A = this chain, B = another copy of it.
């Protein structure tokens, strides 16, 4: 199988069916998986979305809505549905998915939706709406299979079957005491294999990893990845079981966090929506550019300081930009490797020291290699071996600075408890610009005049 991509023939077929009657449309829709319909939705209008959701069986419709891209506004489709169809769809949704969608509506619209659905569903969704979106509470699903530790094998198995009736798939079974406090986890296999008088408390595994509801989603992702979990229970301050987070929900979190790393390292605020509008993008990027403009004036003041030299040696201006630019690129390389390394695992002091040492060496070697090329050009093209020497030294020096700052600054920020990715290339290149201008100008003044 291949992952689904929109192609013209699928789209044409669906568009044609949308012009026909309901029976024809239903027939065409049956050929697609719900997540495929959700992808095709990107190319359809809100009216077409509504018609299709209305015609689909509620279980498929709910899957389409939960798989839709946020930018196509699933919450608006849900809101515009007939209240009866709407409650059918919400009934089919997992509580965490329903909450994510409903949370996008205005508060009065949320109330309007919650008033007309099954009251147990409404209570659960209302509870979830209280958690911050990017915490364990905001990620968790309250649908869990839980067994009282006092149950025997026979009743426990019946309970599992009863509770799992409404779930698409189930992961871990949790054991709780009378106060709903988590006592451990139980595997279905162990229940099935037990003799009938065995109690849940006899077969539970008390050594498990859990998370409190207010913990940040990044930390949840790290726990799940570190302990290789398929799901993690979420508890309140008294260790009462609130819900569970499954590894597939964490995949989205990890994609989000990686996106934030890439954006921050490139001088884009982490809040910028990839598919947001231009207003959003200007707001997110302009501050970084203005900061950089300030630092660029600083670097340019180095050039002003050597204004006399340039009059005597105009060629230096062209070479100076090459050395500064190469420093910026080498620093960006060192920065990317270091930031990514830090975000995947914590470095020990020894590892941090080795990283800085390595980047020093790499800067020196890459600097000398490029320095030789610039030397040769200055020799052959400008016929000036002393200029070549100046440029060789400046290139090597600036690429050493590039390696050192690209590695040291994110490591320092991490030690200070600041996100290392904000050591964006915009910040780092200030150093390589200043040194990149200073070195050739100063060396030329000293050696050539």
Contacts and interface: CB of A to CB of B under 8 A. Distances in A.
Contacts of A266: 265, 332-333, 335-337, 425
Contacts of A289: 326, 329-330, 333, 366, 369-370
A228 B248 contact: yes
A400 B336 CA distance: 26
Interface in A273-294: 274-275, 277-278, 281-282, 285-286, 288-290, 292-293
Interface in A294-344: 296-297, 299-301, 303-304, 307, 310-311, 314-315, 317-322, 324-326, 328-330, 332-333, 335-337, 339-341, 344
A290 B230 contact: no
Contacts of A69: 345
Nearest to A164: B189
A333 B282 CA distance: 11
Interface string A7-36: 000000000000000000000000001010
Nearest to A344: B255
Contact of A192 (B1, B43, B161): B161
A95 interface: no
18 contacts: A5-B346, A35-B228, A157-B192, A170-B189, A225-B255, A251-B254, A262-B262, A263-B340, A266-B333, A266-B337, A274-B340, A288-B333, A293-B373, A296-B326, A307-B314, A310-B317, A321-B437, A328-B328
Given A321-B433, A332-B426, 9 more contacts: A67-B228, A157-B192, A161-B192, A169-B187, A258-B262, A278-B361, A285-B333, A299-B325, A303-B318
Interface of A: 1-6, 33, 35, 39, 42-43, 67, 69, 157, 161, 164-165, 169-171, 187-189, 192-193, 207, 209-211, 219, 222-230, 246-248, 250-251, 254-255, 258-259, 261-263, 265-268, 272, 274-275, 277-278, 281-282, 285-286, 288-290, 292-293, 296-297, 299-301, 303-304, 307, 310-311, 314-315, 317-322, 324-326, 328-330, 332-333, 335-337, 339-341, 344-346, 348, 350-351, 358-359, 361-362, 365-366, 369-370, 373-374, 377, 425-426, 429, 433, 437
